[in-house]
Every structure is written in C-alpha cells, then in structure tokens.
Amino acid sequence: MPMPVKNNIRVILGLSGGVDSAVAALLLKQQGFTLEAVYMENWEEENEQYYCNSAEDFQDARQVCEQLDIPLHKVNFAADYRERVFSHFLDAYASGRTPNPDVMCNTEIKFQCFLGYAQRLGAQLIATGHYARKREAVNGMQLLRAADCGKDQSYFLHGISQNALCNSLFPIGDLHKHEVRKLARDAGFTNHAKKDSTGICFIGERKFSSFLASYLPAQPGDIVTPEGEHLGMHQGLMFYTLGQRHGLGIGGRKKSSGKPWYVAAKNLQRNVLVVVQDRDHPLLLQRSVLAFNPHWISGQAPGALFSCTAKSRYRQADQDCQVRMLDDRHCRVEFMHAQRALTPGQYVVFYSGQECLGGAVIGQVGEQANSASPDTATRARNAA
C-alpha cells in the first residue's frame, strides 16, 4: 500500500546527531511530511571547553540532512538552559537533593523553547527521536510507553504539557533499538553504530565531583553510623547519593564485619552523612513518599485517591502504589512494598498500564513523609 502523502504538513525535527533522531528524520521523510531539522546547542562554557562533543554531533546531523535533502537550522538555547534547568540543578544539590536534569531539559527546553522556535519557523508539528508513543483519548492526548521497554523514555517525558504532546511526533516509538540501527545502516548513515549518549550531557567525561565543586563550595563533614559512631569524613554531602556504595573511603576498619557501607541518609543541618552496612537496612527501605509539584499529562489527577504503578528511578520495574492528593501541589504515595533508596529531588512517575499519567518530585520519605503536612512540604520546597 502506498504511503499517504503529507507534504502539506510542515514538521521540524530536533536532530541531535545521534542515530535515533536520524532515523526519525528518515521515517518522516518517507511518510511525505514537509520536513526541516533543528540542531540545538544547550550548553557552553566560558573556558570554551565543550564536553558534549557538540562539533562532532553537529557534523553527524548535517550529514543526515544532506543525505535526506532537508534544511538544517542551528539554534543556541544555552542561556535558557542555564536559567531554566542548570540553576535548578545547582539549587537542588545545594539543598541536599539529587535532581534529574534530563526531565527538566525535556520539559523546559525541548518541549517549550524548541517548540516555540519551531512554530516561529512555521512548523505545524515538532518531532524528536524519543522512544515514546502517544494516542488520542476522551480526556486528551495520552503519553504511552515505547514498544521497546528497554529504551522507553516516557519517564523523562512525564513533565511535558498537553499542548506540547498534541503538537509532537515520536516517529521511532514503535521500533526497537536494533530496528533503528538497521534502518540507519541500510540508509547509509555514518552514525548508525554511534554509541548512545549516557550521563549528564553538560558534565561529559569529567568527574562529577570536580564539575560540581567548580560551582558549589564543598563542605566536608562527619560520616557516622545511625548510632552516632564516627567513621570518617565526607567531602561534601552534594557528592553522595542515597544507596551509594563506592567512594566512601571507610572500608577495612578494625572491628568491622567487612561488609560494604551504604549511604543511608544526609543530615543537611548538621552536615553529616549517615552510613549503614546492610544493603537492605531499614533506613534504606521505605514505603511512603511525600511528593510535590505533581504534573498530570491530562491536566488533572486521576482522582483524589487512586491506585496505579510508579517508578522512583528510570530503570526501576513498575511498583504498585496508592496516590492520595493532599492539594494541587502535594501528593502522598504509599507503595505496596518497601522501596530501596527513595531519593529526595528525584521524580516518582505514575503509570496505568501503557499510559504515563504524570509525575512529581520526591520531597520527603518514610516517617517524615507520613508526618509531614502540605504546609511543611511547601516550606521545604521553598527552602530548596
């Protein structure tokens, strides 16, 4: 059956230089859309050392556009990124939280700044190389998981608006990664075997601790057990994540069981890092979360009290939970089973089957979450 011609619909694709967006361009071209591409520069530094391989990525993007004969634009969103993503990233670390800048990059840059820029260029729709899908429903457009569950990126897209979702296409959402690479190889794209980008782009190959210390002053302090026994010194609470095992520098102690130590808590007021020797210590296993700033893809919560599944980190399997809305800005999440290393600043993202409902920022966990009121959560959020 011949492919329907869609040359009356103008689509502008975010082209990163990677294989996923390259194949998205290929598919859109084959489907007959009037297609253009935009390469976004979202980070730059005063010392002119760009750790995200921007020049190489732009050349890869340009080669794809030359092969497909589509126009390529280049836009710099670095100022927007610093104001709307990076500043919040630093604020979160300074307040003892562990943020996820990839979620904010999608919400603030790719599906706000880029969407607005593309529309000013005359685009009717934008497209990206994200592994996700969407479908129209009675309550609006739904965000769905990708066909490739191992590459699904709905977790990182849960914060985009209904308007952005309605005006976006995810051409590779029905494909698996091996199919994407085969299409790129068959098309003759030089980036068909290009390694997937990992980690935080603006940090690149640098040590995370060195990067962060160049923006925030390190404040060394005590490492202690829950009972208060002093074990050593930490380099700064911002360098540690709940559940972290490596890099603590307290192994091989006398009268120790020899088991590895894990970060169990961070006391910002006392600048103390609390560690335990049991991976499944009660301090690391919690069932309750008080989350703030919930965002719902449909525009509203599914109900005042509802059951669903959730992920408190990207690679986690779905966990059964119950969500109670406390007000428009706060919700309490009760998991059926205890979760390991629930981390303030990370996102808890909600699902109903294949549909991503939305998500919220983890504020407090365990007993603090159960006893906290929306007022105390608001003060904690504002302080952060």
Residues annotated as catalytic (active site), given as ranges: 105, 201
The alpha-helical segments, DSSP class H, found in the chain are 19-30, 54-68, 78-81, 87-94, 101-104, 114-120, 154-157, 162-166, 177-187, 208-213, 367-371, 374-383
What are the tokens at 60? 């890869």
**Host H or E run for residue 134:** strand 133-137
What are the tokens at 80? 């927007």
DSSP state of 237: G
How far apart are the C-alpha atoms of 358 and 248, rounded to whole Å?
35
Kindly calculate the radius of gyration of the chain based on its CA atoms and give it in whole angstroms. 22
| Type of residue numbered 3 | M
How far apart are the C-alpha atoms of 93 and 213, rounded to whole Å?
11
Q: Is 102 helix (H, G, I), strand (E, B) or coil?
A: helix
What is the DSSP pairing of strand 125-127 with strand 10-14?
parallel
- In angstroms, the Cα distances linking 98 to 9, 67, 188, 221, 265 are 41, 41, 41, 18, 12
Buried b / exposed e over 17-47, threshold 16 CB at 10 Å, is bbbbbbbbbbbbbebebbbbbbbbbbbbeee
How far apart are the C-alpha atoms of 112 and 130, rounded to whole Å?
16
